[in-house]
């Protein structure tokens, strides 16, 4: 059985600036590994969601995420905001 390729998607969203999250990088295998490594180097939170990555991986860079991905991306953003708050304010 052939192993599924590694997929990585980088999203950007700035509250009060962007109308919706959009794709800033996407890649498979070696490129995915590079995206993941860069995220780690910059302290960017990483979430694994193969199904969502497969959907977003079909988009072009600078594309706004599709409506069907909003709920999943909102959950991820909520997770990231909590993690960032923990880093800044501690584990209150």
Element (H, E) at 24: strand 22-28
pLDDT tens digits, 1-19: 667 889 999 999 888 999 8
Q: Which domain holds residue 63?
A: 7-89
pTM: 0.80
pLDDT tens digits, 36-88: 999 999 988 888 888 899 899 999 999 999 988 888 888 888 888 888 788 77
Domain annotation covers residue 22 = yes
**Cα-Cα-Cα-Cα dihedral of 71, 72, 76, 82, to 10°?**
40
Domain annotation covers residue 2 = no
| Domains identified in the chain, total number | 1
Residue 77, domain CATH: 3.40.1690.10
Domain annotation covers residue 21 = yes
The answer to whether residues 55 and 73 touch, using CB atoms and an 8 Å cutoff, is no
Domain annotation covers residue 18 = yes
């Amino acid at each position: 059985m052939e192993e599924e390729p590694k997929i990585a998607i980088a999203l950007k969203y700035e509250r009060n600036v962007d109308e919706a999250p959009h794709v800033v990088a996407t890649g498979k295998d070696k490129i995915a590994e590079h995206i993941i490594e860069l995220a780690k180097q910059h302290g960017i939170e990483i979430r694994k969601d193969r199904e969502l990555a497969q959907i977003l991986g079909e988009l072009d860079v600078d594309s706004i995420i599709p409506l069907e991905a909003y709920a999943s991306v909102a959950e991820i953003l909520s997770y990231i905001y909590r993690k960032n708050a923990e880093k800044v304010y501690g584990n209150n």
